[in-house]
Structure 1
């Protein structure tokens, strides 16, 4: 076999850099952000790193070069991460009376500052949710307003972390609320709230999370501007806060006598330490029954999945949906149907 020409040597060198970056990204779910904060930013780029390494693999295969083995072995090592990035469509499912349907949505204060043109965004959000007919609705970046009234639900629990703007989180349901509470993240306006619901003969804790925001614009170009060092610093700070917030959520679960479902806005990727800790003992509804990239956040061409529904392992996920065409916020709603019977 002929040696590589100069151009291919450069290509292979760049390939090696991206393969190393991907390998480092694989390790991040096992490293607390507080240990290596700057490295944790790599978890946000995992989808891009996967696609780039797949491109390098194809390039070398087409050229019939053994150098394809570098990206091939790295991708094979992280095959489970590929499954977290993309899922082929699951079979259709019709909800049964004993099933539970949960919908989670970061509603961005119902378009309070007119980020989206039009005066009907609030009504569109309400109409969408009511048309989906969920049993439980978890809303993040909720705002208490006179024009927000989900009449289809008998029970509501809301916690306003900013009394002045009436900003916070809410859970709507028709199941009886046995217990409720706010986990609280100190001085942050982000929060996690929970309700214990009587569902059939069981009681289930539903936790609605909104972890610390990354405070970034939904544009890749922001990472290319001169302020990217400050931007990365802000992301690092947010990751540290998220780590502390997750510890509080897990402490709440440790004292919970019931099975649990966690849903909401993680403000972090499914390749992160934050996600791994939250998903312990739970099934990722997207990984069980999702399709395509499961994109939940509008971030240019990168399929960011920073919202999740995590169902107790004792349950069986029947269906998962994301709604990328529902553009009433910078997030897209997600829903899940699960049954209380054991997944076995």
Structure 2
């Protein structure tokens, strides 16, 4: 290698490193910048982990060649540490125990995708519904929080779910709100909370409609847990509303060399979905945060936020709450089955009056979201 070529290569590498760090900073800003105004920052935020990986790769290379440029990557990582900590779990030795500690409240969070009923026709009448019910029973949770919950009053075509969960799984208390309905209300979709403790109060905050679709909801159930009142919230925030065409566009973007001539159009379609969803979700996140701030009782919120940890949505809803995954798990914690292994978009968050005891994510293929389970204990009631 000639000196001139070596010099050119180093300069190219330095410039590439600087550009990567700049994009890394922009992606980190997604947690603080309202995507309703600067939606492209929100899009970059989705790629935060990829930019982080590139920054670490540059750091390793500079270390190997003993270059002072290593400090650029070090500085970037230090500056963005809070975002790295929100994205990545570092508790590699944590183990989940099936037996609950005395005083623990076990919460199961799951976007159940209508208990797979929407796939019934295409799968020849077969669904994962029974497997999902068996899984729920095995967890022995005290509280169940569901998004895309489905209830049917036409058992000839679709099985009902409220009665089996109440009677067979022994959850006598529930709060279910209908966000959307088909067949003159015979098929109902919404969010639901089931509890083995009495629900003494409940409320709903419905979001505005979006692209002609009924708005979804944030719901709250106030439980009497052995004489202590606690608030359980669950929410389904605005999705990107991807359809089959959009998933095909994503595949085109993943393999641009094989789809020349289609990339630009595919990119426009996906970016349009991002822009519209961000505009709605940032408003919804503000609504959720406002409701959480009103809670006078110890509070837990779960849900499908449809956004990554490095986002305005997550940082706004989380506020000063604890993320059960961050407290007790490791890795990236992907919760959405499709598109990318970096998509942790489902959460269990608790205010500081709770201690997070343990957390797990089970890689069950029954829904396009994985179920999450966490045990929490009120600090003031924890056995000494």
Alignment TM-score, normalising by the size of structure 1: 0.92
Which structure 2 residues correspond to residues 247-262 of structure 1 after superposition, within 5 A?
247-262=286-301
Work out the CA distance in 2 between the residues paired with 1:44 and 1:332.
19
Query: What is the CA-CA distance between 1:117 and the residue it aligns to?
Result: 5.4
**Structure 1 residues 222 and 251 mapped into 2: Cα distance closer, same or farther (>3 Å)?**
farther
In the other structure, the counterpart of 2:115 is 110
Higher helix share: 2
SS state of the match for residue 198, structure 1?
strand
| Paired residues for 1:324-339 under 5 Å | 325-339=363-377
Displacement of 1:126 in angstroms is 0.9
**Structure-to-structure mapping, 1:29-108, within 5 angstroms:** 29-87=31-89, 88-92=91-95, 93=97, 94-108=99-113
Q: 1:223·1:231 contact (CA, 8 Å) conserved in 2?
A: no
Determine if contact 2:232/2:299 at 8 Å carries over to the other structure: yes
8 Å Cα contact 1:106-1:329 kept in structure 2: yes
Kindly tell me: are residues 63 and 301 of structure 1, through their superposed partners in 2, closer, same or farther at Cα, counting changes over 3 Å?
A: farther
Larger radius of gyration: 2
3-state SS, counterpart of residue 183 of structure 1: strand
What residue in structure 2 maps to residue 124 of structure 1? Answer: 131
Structure 1 residue 84: Cα displacement: 2.4
Query: Secondary structure of 2:39's partner?
Result: coil
- Is 1:288 equivalent to 2:327 in the alignment? yes
Q: Does 1:341 align with 2:354?
A: no
Corresponding residue for 1:196?
Answer: 222
CA–CA distance in 1 between the matches of 2:70 and 2:223?
52
Q: Secondary structure at the match of 1:256?
A: coil
Q: Distance in 1 between matches of 2:160 and 2:131?
A: 12
> CA RMSD for the aligned pairs?
2.3
Of 144, 147, 150, the match for 1:140: 147
Q: Is the 8 A contact 1:218 1:299 kept in 2?
A: no
- Cα distance in 2, alignment partners of residues 206 and 170 from structure 1: 11
* CA distance in 1 between partners of 2:110 and 2:215 (Å): 17
d(CA) in 2 for partners of 1:121 and 1:13? 51
Deviates more, 1:7-16 or 1:289-298: 7-16
Match of 2:199 among 170, 177, 186: 177
Question: In the TM superposition, what are the counterparts of 1:148-187 in structure 2 within 5 Å?
Answer: 148=161, 149-150=164-165, 151-152=168-169, 153-164=171-182, 165-187=187-209
Q: Secondary structure at the match of 2:119?
A: coil
| Structure 2 residue aligned with 1:14 | 16
Structure 1 partner of 2:251: 221
Matches of 2:247 and 2:352, distance apart in 1: 33
CA-to-aligned-CA distance 1:174-205 (integer Å, 9 cap, x gap): 11001112110122442211111111221111
- SS of the aligned residue for 1:194 comes to strand
**Hey, what's the Cα distance between the residues in 1 that align with 2:41 and 2:22?**
13
Cα 1:297–1:222 shift into 2, 3 Å: farther
Q: TM-score, normalised by structure 2?
A: 0.83
Distance (Å, rounded) in 2 between the aligned partners of 1:158 and 1:101: 20
> What number of residue pairs does the alignment pair up?
342
